[in-house]
């Protein structure tokens, strides 16, 4: 009896390829003749393919990748760096995939930006929060997203003003801003 160790949905099981019994059991003692042979062989191959599919390291769905990246960024507790860049990359991929689905309303994608902004605002990462709210307002102009845009706008207004731009390096001309008379 030939035993093959296979991974099925991250659990190890023994499958007997001499017969089509349940995992770990043998159905032997008979010959495969007539019309049973092709059917049984096909069933055995199909079962093996299903088992191997569970072993393959396939990428998660784009929203799963984003959720994992968001969790990593929040866990890191930093306002910049690789975790935050990874979060934005995963979100952009999710948004791009969702945009290709005809008729798909991207409510989850918009709501995720609002939650993301709120979570980073709590962490006092105002620039990530600001970018999240601004992205929501910019990417979702449709009327159905008005409540989310309004919430993002209110949250955006509640943030402290952005920091001033850094001064120019020495030797560079200083930008001159027009003086307003209002």
The per-residue pLDDT for 175 is 66
The per-residue pLDDT for 181 is 60
- Average of per-residue pLDDT across 158-166: 89
DSSP 108-167: HHHHHHHHHHHHHHHTT-HHHHHHHHHHHHHH--SGGGHHHHHHHHHHHHHSPPPPPPPP
The per-residue pLDDT for 18 is 44
- When comparing pLDDT for 78 and 16, which is higher? 78
The per-residue pLDDT for 42 is 59
For residue 12, CA distances in Å to 1, 27, 52, 104, 159 come to 19, 20, 11, 38, 52
> Which helix (H) or strand (E) covers residue 7, if one does?
strand 3-8
pLDDT digits 0-9 by tens, 97-137: 999 998 888 999 999 999 999 999 999 999 999 999 999 99
- Check whether 32 has a pLDDT greater than 60: no
The per-residue pLDDT for 178 is 67
- Check whether 29 has a pLDDT greater than 70: no
Dist. CA 69–CA 7, nearest whole Å = 27
User: Do 23 and 15 form a contact (C-beta atoms < 8 A)?
Assistant: yes
- Check whether 23 has a pLDDT greater than 70: no
Go through the chain and tell me how many residues it has: 182
Q: Where are the domains of the chain?
A: 3-55, 62-158
Can you tell me whether residue 8 is helix, strand or coil? strand
């Amino acid at each position: 009896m030939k035993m093959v160790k296979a991974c099925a949905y991250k659990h190890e099981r023994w499958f007997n390829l001499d017969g089509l019994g349940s995992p770990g059991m043998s159905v032997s003692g008979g010959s495969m003749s007539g019309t049973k042979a092709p059917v049984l062989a096909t069933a055995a191959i199909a079962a093996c393919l299903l088992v191997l599919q569970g072993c393959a390291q396939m990428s998660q769905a784009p929203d799963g990748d984003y959720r994992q990246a968001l969790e990593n960024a929040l866990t890191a507790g930093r306002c910049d760096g690789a975790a935050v860049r990874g979060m934005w990359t995963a979100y952009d991929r999710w948004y791009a995939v969702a945009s290709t689905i005809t008729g798909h309303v991207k409510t989850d994608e918009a709501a995720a930006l609002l939650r993301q902004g709120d979570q980073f605002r709590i962490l006092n990462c105002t620039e990530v929060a600001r970018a999240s709210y601004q992205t929501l307002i910019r990417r979702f102009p449709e009327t159905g997203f008005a409540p989310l845009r309004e919430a993002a706008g209110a949250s955006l207004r509640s943030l402290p003003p952005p920091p001033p731009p850094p001064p120019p390096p020495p030797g560079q001309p200083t930008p001159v801003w027009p003086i307003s008379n209002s």
